[in-house]
Amino acid sequence: MPREGNARKGALLATVLFALAAATAAVADDTPGVTATEIKIGNTDAYSGPASAYSVIAKLESAFFKMVNDQGGVAGREINFISLDDGYSPPKTLEQVRRLIEQDRVALLFNTSGTACNSAIEKYVNQKQVPHLFLGTGADKFGDYQHYPWTMGFQPSYRTEAQIYAKYILKVKPNAKIAILYQNDDFGKDYPTGMKDVLGDNFDKMVVTASYETTDPTIDSQITSLQAAGADVLLVAASPKFAAQAIRKAHDLDWKPLFFMTYTSTSIASVINPAGAQNAIGIISAGFVKDPADPNSRNDTGMNEWRDFMAKYMPGADTTDGNYLFAYAVSKAMLQVLKQCEGNFTRENIMKQAANLHDLELPTLLPGVRVNTSPTNYHPIRQLQLGKFDGTHWVPLGDLVTGAGN
Amino acid sequence: MKAMLNETPLVEAVANRLSPPIWRWLGIAAILATACILPFAISGYHVSQFSQVLIYAIAMLGLNILTGFNGQISLGHGAFYAIGAYTTAILLDKTGIPYWATVPIAGAICLGAGFLFGLPALRLEGLYLALATVAFAVATPQILKFKGFDSWTGGVQGIQVDSPAAPFGLPLNTDRWIYYFCLIWAVALVIIARNLLSGRTGRAMIAIRDHPLAAATMGVDTALYKSLTFGISAMYTGIAGALGAVLSAYVSPDSFPVLLSIKFLVGSVVGGIASISGAFIGALFIEFTPNFADQISKAAPDAIFGIFVIALMYLMPTGAIGIFNFIGVRLRRWAVAKRQY
Amino acid sequence: MQGFLHQLLSGLANGGIYASLALALVMIYQATHHVNFAQGAMAMFSTYIAWALIDAGVPYWTAFGLTLFFSFLAGVAIERIIIRPVECGPALTIVIVFVGLLLILNSLAGWIFSYTIKKFPSPFPSTAWYGSKYLSPHEVGMIVVTLAVLILVFLFFRFTPLGLAMRAAAQNPVSSRLVGIRVGWMLAFGWGLAAAIGAVAGMMAAPIVYLDPDMMSGILLYGFAGALLGGIDNPWGAVLGGFFVGVLENIAGAYVVGTELKLTVALVIIVGVLVFKPAGLFGRTLVARV
């Protein structure tokens, strides 16, 4: 009798154990990249090649997650941030992302950079149903929640920015002749497109454009042509090196147009100072991140929080580089999403929480700029603040403007 | 150019006479068998890496034919790779042609493009040809981005295409099917290259490389053969590009920078520029070494890659195949010497 | 007409940058019969050394001189240590070593100095009697410096025994050894001089194009094209070639096709010229002996 009882107990125990194992396995599969002690986050960035200037963003993100871990992690788990080099090559990005998802088994992708690189992985990532959050690009196309429900951008789109400039120009100089210098890639081309959105049929009459390749040594010829065309407004949609060249050349040519600059090249350290701060007086740009050179920022709690972080976790980094402020903001947004998950780290829930940010205020964003997402709005930041450079820092110009988004 | 050769044809002739062909067939069979089993031994993403290896190998085989066997340097084969890739992408995007049919079409178009490029290139030698080819590689992304072609090429945004599924209902997932598809093409192209190079055309090509004047004196139409070689070489690399487009399911002008052309040349030389099997070794090198370098140094991965390249050039100036042949010759001489006593 | 003149002047300014690098390429070619594809990267690295010196408080001309000196030594060292093992090997092997060198220098510069652009000072004032709106004093100064270096290079190769020895060592190493020329050290010396000329090119270009690890990659292509166009064995031709390329590029972009195809058209024209004159416009045509 006792042996039968033992056998039945054994069977029951075995069944329970098997069920538990099955359940655990099932639970483990539900939260890929997440265990009881760890959350894996994947990222690709250009650590080599011409776009490497932006790799500082990934470096800050790595330091940020280290800080989070030092403070106890999220929901008791440490964040394991895996960042791989893709050399700004779309086929390589796909390979690295496949490695992150299939081999390293990350829970989500965060702030992968490069427009073409993200285009290369968009379909694959959505097929695999991996949250593809806060892309490091302002291209307008990312945020198409209907076709790519797992991909979400972050920064205001370049096209929106150009639309805002166009509206401003029509307000202050309705008969202007506009010149656009743009980088011949998906970043630069968004600017003439955005202008055209607002100017419509008048675009061909009012606008003259010149493009350049990143392999061009200088853009002096383009600036000379644009001035010769009689333009009195200039929009420069260029990466930092060429933006600095444009400012200097316009100054050399004694050309003082109403000067607009893309927000990606407003850094005082990497653009304004090399070009000569006095040459940049009067330049208008739009931004959503605070200006580290602003003397008022010394008493700003958000900026001081960022400064403390930089001093402790990124000593020696150039604190006048606006990229670090942007990186801090997007990292804080990611942290918010993780916190909102409240321990439930299935990919579905991560995506759900990413699409559930309401009026989120971040320490390094300009006052009034809020992060907002919803299941039908995948453009987290849509507000921009126009600003004018006065020789030392960017002074706000007017109120916050909201773009239409996609 | 003469000094760079590893005398492959001569060594092979000697080897054929001294070693039984059965060993070579067994060796080839073993390699093929490994290649066929591979997709089932490793996980999905690694299979796609090896598909990329096969694709690079085909591309570099084209370069070897041109530079190794015909002596015309090219720093711009990435451009033919791009043409092949875009041909496939455009056909898949705009027409109903199935993916497997786009590959030979891409090859044919590149054959023509290469031949046309080879014609003016007849007048250029050495450095000047290098400049012309690198100019071609640098200009290609700009041409692809040109707004006049936007409706075809998708401009700066590129073209997204769908990945193929295995045909005839074979129980293979997409990764494995693409791998076998690339493998079939690789084997076919290797066989064609082998026949080409060991036949009359190959001898003409090699003669032009070694001593163009003597070849012309002997009646070889150097102009025709040089242009033809350019065309064939471009065809190989164009087919590789087409397969690459099928693998990545996405093409954009940014995918084909001049660095790609440089990488092809580096891989070819590391593997052995005047050999067929060298292309495969070179492909393994350029696919896996950057990942390895990334692990050694996150801050300067290209520097590590560069150090590897230079170190390999010291150790193996004639490429990996050069070293294998060297060792092989030494071994056979030793074996023959032993037999004589 | 005025617009055309402006583009012309702008083209001359760009051309000056290309011409100065073309000179370094000619120097290395005349000394070794190889074109060093890493010349641009070496020039960039030299410019970073100069920048670091100036940033540490060293006055401009002292830093300039020190950089030339270090660059010369570095060139000699690179030739003796890195190039020497493969010198007698196949030509392609040497090319690949150049490529490796280029990758290493680019990557190291990015690692040590970061990828953010840096401002590099100019020894010329920002306004001067010889400057104008379309050709700044620095650009004029750069052209003058390039021409001065050109004359020095020409005089060196033509009228000094050392220059003659270097040319001999490159053209016919075997015979040169027989007459007592230390061929190995001639090659190293050539590398040193080329590195120094490259450093000048970099320090002249940096105030215009700003200093970053990728500064020289576009310039190398045009410099190479200019050198070949003018004749790789002819310093005068190379410099003229550089200017020609600069002007051609600007005119093509402004008047022929617009900026979207500027690079393509410029390259097509250059290659086209080479097809008709394969040794370059001023190069010596080599006649092969049977």
Look at chain B and report how many structural domains it folds into.
Answer: 1
Digit-coded pLDDT (tens) for A197-209: 999 999 999 999 9
Q: Which two tokens stand for residue C110?
A: 């990015």
Q: What is the DSSP letter of A286?
A: E
CB B126 within 8 A of CB B253: no
- Whether B52 sits inside 8 A of A47 (CB atoms) is no
Digit-coded pLDDT (tens) for A260-284: 999 988 888 889 989 999 999 999 9
B315 interfaces chain C, CB cutoff of 8 Å:
no
> In this structure, are A174 and A276 located in the same domain?
yes
Look at chain C and report how many structural domains it folds into.
Answer: 1
Per-residue pLDDT at A21 exceeds 50: no
Q: Which two tokens stand for residue A314?
A: 């990124």
**What is the percentage of chain B residues whose pLDDT exceeds 90?**
52
Give me the half-sphere count of Cα atoms (radius 13 Å) on the Cβ side of residue B220.
23
Ranges of beta strands (E only) in chain B are 159-160, 250-251
> In this structure, are A219 and A101 located in the same domain?
no
Interface-testing mutation among C78, C96, C274, with chain B (most B C-beta atoms within 10 A):
C96
**Cβ neighbours of B74 in C, within 8 Å:** none
Mean per-residue pLDDT, B239-264: 93
> In this structure, are A280 and A200 located in the same domain?
yes
How many other C-beta atoms can be found within 10 angstroms of the C-beta atom of residue A124?
Answer: 18
| Cα gap C103→C214, rounded to integer Å | 11
For residue B42, the model assigns a pLDDT of 85
Chains contacting B (3+ CB pairs below 8 angstroms): A, C
Identify any residues that bridge with A385 across adjacent strands, giving them in sequence order. Answer: A287, A400
Count interface pairs A-B at CB distance under 8 A.
83
- Burial profile A284-295: b = 16 or more Cβ within 10 angstroms, e = fewer: bbbbbbbbbbbe
> B19: pLDDT confidence band, cut at 50, 70 and 90?
low
CB B138 within 8 A of CB B273: no
Does C284 map to a domain?
no
- Whether A244 sits inside 8 A of C210 (CB atoms) is yes
Q: Which residue has the tokens 């455009």?
A: B90
Q: Distances from the Cα of A193 to the Cαs of A116, A182, A188, A213, A406, in angstroms?
A: 18, 11, 9, 18, 13
| Helix residue spans in A173-238 (DSSP H) | 186-199, 203-206, 220-228
Per-residue pLDDT at B16 exceeds 60: no
Q: From the centroid of its chain, how far is CA A305? A: 20
> In this structure, are A168 and A136 located in the same domain?
no
For residue A22, the model assigns a pLDDT of 44
Range from A283-297, B10-24, B177-191 that averages highest in pLDDT? B177-191
> In this structure, are A43 and A143 located in the same domain?
yes
Q: Distances from the Cα of A305 to the Cαs of A190, A308, B53, C186, C228, in angstroms?
A: 34, 5, 48, 60, 57
Angle, in degrees to the nearest 10, between helices B301-315 and C91-113 = 160
Q: What is the DSSP letter of A74?
A: B
- Whether A103 sits inside 8 A of B43 (CB atoms) is yes
Which of C8, C32, C3 lies closest to C191, judged by CA?
C32
**Cβ neighbours of C278 in B, within 8 Å:** 123-125, 128
| Helix residue spans in chain C (DSSP H) | 2-32, 39-55, 60-77, 91-113, 137-159, 161-171, 173-178, 183-209, 215-230, 235-251, 262-276
Residue C114: left if φ>0, alpha if ψ -120 to 50, beta else—which one?
Answer: left
Q: Distances from the Cα of C231 to the Cαs of A158, A321, C30, C191, C267, in angstroms?
A: 45, 45, 11, 19, 16
- Whether A90 sits inside 8 A of B48 (CB atoms) is no
**Cβ neighbours of A211 in C, within 8 Å:** 259-260
> A16: pLDDT confidence band, cut at 50, 70 and 90?
very low
Q: Assign residue A342 the CATH number of its domain.
A: 3.40.50.2300
| Cα gap C267→B135, rounded to integer Å | 6
Does C18 map to a domain?
yes
> In this structure, are A70 and A121 located in the same domain?
yes
Mean per-residue pLDDT, A360-379: 92
| Cα gap A395→C246, rounded to integer Å | 39
Per-residue pLDDT at A398 exceeds 90: no
- Whether A221 sits inside 8 A of C253 (CB atoms) is yes
Per-residue pLDDT at B23 exceeds 60: yes
B125 interfaces chain C, CB cutoff of 8 Å:
yes
Does C288 map to a domain?
no
- Residue ranges making up the domain that contains A172: 158-287
For residue A29, the model assigns a pLDDT of 60
| Cα gap A347→A340, rounded to integer Å | 13
Q: Assign residue B303 the CATH number of its domain.
A: 1.10.3470
> A40: pLDDT confidence band, cut at 50, 70 and 90?
very high
> In this structure, are A165 and A280 located in the same domain?
yes
Q: Which two tokens stand for residue A270?
A: 């990497």
Please tell me which of the candidates B48, B142, B290 has its beta carbon nearest to residue A213. B142
Does C281 map to a domain?
no
| Cα gap A323→A292, rounded to integer Å | 10
- Whether A123 sits inside 8 A of B249 (CB atoms) is yes
What backbone torsions phi and psi does residue A367 show, to the nearest 5 degrees? Answer: -55, 135
B242 interfaces chain C, CB cutoff of 8 Å:
no
Q: Which two tokens stand for residue C90?
A: 């196949």
- Residue ranges making up the domain that contains C15: 2-276
> A15: pLDDT confidence band, cut at 50, 70 and 90?
very low
Chains contacting C (3+ CB pairs below 8 angstroms): A, B
Q: Which residue has the tokens 């997402």?
A: A373
What backbone torsions phi and psi does residue B111 show, to the nearest 5 degrees? Answer: -55, -50
Q: Distances from the Cα of A110 to the Cαs of A81, A327, C228, in angstroms?
A: 9, 11, 47
Per-residue pLDDT at C52 exceeds 90: yes
CB B286 within 8 A of CB B312: no
- Whether B255 sits inside 8 A of A185 (CB atoms) is no
How many other C-beta atoms can be found within 10 angstroms of the C-beta atom of residue A367?
Answer: 12
- 131-160 of A, contacting B, C-beta below 8 A: 141
Please tell me which of the candidates C103, C232, C267 has its beta carbon nearest to residue B306. C103
B266 interfaces chain C, CB cutoff of 8 Å:
yes
Which of B139, B143, B159, B129 lies closest to B265, judged by CA?
B129
Per-residue pLDDT at A405 exceeds 70: no
Does A293 map to a domain?
no
Does A188 map to a domain?
yes
**Cβ neighbours of B252 in A, within 8 Å:** 90, 116, 119-120
- Residue ranges making up the domain that contains B201: 2-340
> C287: pLDDT confidence band, cut at 50, 70 and 90?
low
**Shortest distance, CA B98 to any CA of chain A (angstroms):** 20
Per-residue pLDDT at B166 exceeds 50: yes
Count interface pairs B-C at CB distance under 8 A.
130
Q: Which two tokens stand for residue A237?
A: 């949609």
Per-residue pLDDT at C204 exceeds 90: yes
**What is the percentage of chain A residues whose pLDDT exceeds 90?**
59
Q: In this predicted structure, which of A50-59, A261-270, B326-335 has the lowest mean pLDDT?
A: A50-59
Digit-coded pLDDT (tens) for A65-110: 999 999 999 999 999 999 998 888 899 999 999 999 999 999 999 9
Chains contacting A (3+ CB pairs below 8 angstroms): B, C
Mean per-residue pLDDT, C156-166: 91
**Cβ neighbours of C96 in B, within 8 Å:** 265-266, 269-270, 309, 313
- Global pTM reads 0.89
> C288: pLDDT confidence band, cut at 50, 70 and 90?
low
Look at chain A and report how many structural domains it folds into.
Answer: 2
Q: Is the dihedral of CA B151, B152, B158, B161 positive or negative?
A: positive
> In this structure, are A171 and A131 located in the same domain?
no
- Whether C212 sits inside 8 A of A241 (CB atoms) is yes
* Mean of per-residue pLDDT scores for chain B: 88
Q: Which residue has the tokens 């080879």?
A: B118
Q: In this predicted structure, which of A291-300, B29-38, B238-247 has the lowest mean pLDDT?
A: A291-300
Q: Which two tokens stand for residue A73?
A: 């992690």
C259 interfaces chain B, CB cutoff of 8 Å:
no
Task: For A148-188, give the DSSP string.
Answer: -TTB---SPPHHHHHHHHHHHHHHH-TT--EEEEEESSHHH
Tell me whether residue A298 is exposed, middle or buried, using C-beta atoms within 10 angstroms of its C-beta: 0 to 12, 13 to 18, 19 or more: exposed
> A54: pLDDT confidence band, cut at 50, 70 and 90?
confident
Digit-coded pLDDT (tens) for A290-307: 888 888 878 889 999 999
> In this structure, are A355 and A376 located in the same domain?
yes
> In this structure, are A123 and A230 located in the same domain?
no
Mean per-residue pLDDT, B129-154: 89
> In this structure, are A149 and A180 located in the same domain?
no
**Cβ neighbours of C267 in B, within 8 Å:** 135-136, 138-139
| Cα gap A215→C213, rounded to integer Å | 13
Q: Assign residue C132 the CATH number of its domain.
A: 1.10.3470
> In this structure, are A137 and A252 located in the same domain?
no
Please tell me which of the candidates B48, B156, B298 has its beta carbon nearest to residue A185. B156
State the first-to-last Cα distance of chain A, in angstroms, to the nearest integer.
74
Give me the half-sphere count of Cα atoms (radius 13 Å) on the Cβ side of residue B152.
11
- Whether B157 sits inside 8 A of A88 (CB atoms) is no
Distant-in-sequence, close-in-space partners of C1: CB < 8 Å, separation ≥ 6: none
Give me the half-sphere count of Cα atoms (radius 13 Å) on the Cβ side of residue C216.
33
Distant-in-sequence, close-in-space partners of C126: CB < 8 Å, separation ≥ 6: C136, C137, C138
Helix (H) or strand (E) holding A398: strand A394-402
Q: Is the dihedral of CA C21, C23, C26, C32 positive or negative?
A: negative
**What is the percentage of chain B residues whose pLDDT exceeds 70?**
94
Search chain C and give the residue with CA nearest B119: C275
**Cβ neighbours of C214 in A, within 8 Å:** 50
Search chain A and give the residue with CA nearest C249: A221
- 149-208 of B, contacting C, C-beta below 8 A: none
**Shortest distance, CA C144 to any CA of chain B (angstroms):** 28
For residue C210, the model assigns a pLDDT of 92
Per-residue pLDDT at B241 exceeds 50: yes
Does C283 map to a domain?
no
- Whether A53 sits inside 8 A of C11 (CB atoms) is no
Q: Which two tokens stand for residue C268?
A: 């097509």
Q: From the centroid of its chain, how far is CA A310? A: 19
CB C47 within 8 A of CB C206: yes
Digit-coded pLDDT (tens) for A311-366: 999 998 888 888 899 999 999 999 999 999 998 999 999 999 999 999 999 999 99
Q: From the centroid of its chain, how far is CA A405? A: 15
Q: Distances from the Cα of A381 to the Cαs of A84, A163, A288, A336, B135, in angstroms?
A: 26, 15, 8, 15, 42
Identify any residues that bridge with A287 across adjacent strands, giving them in sequence order. Answer: A385
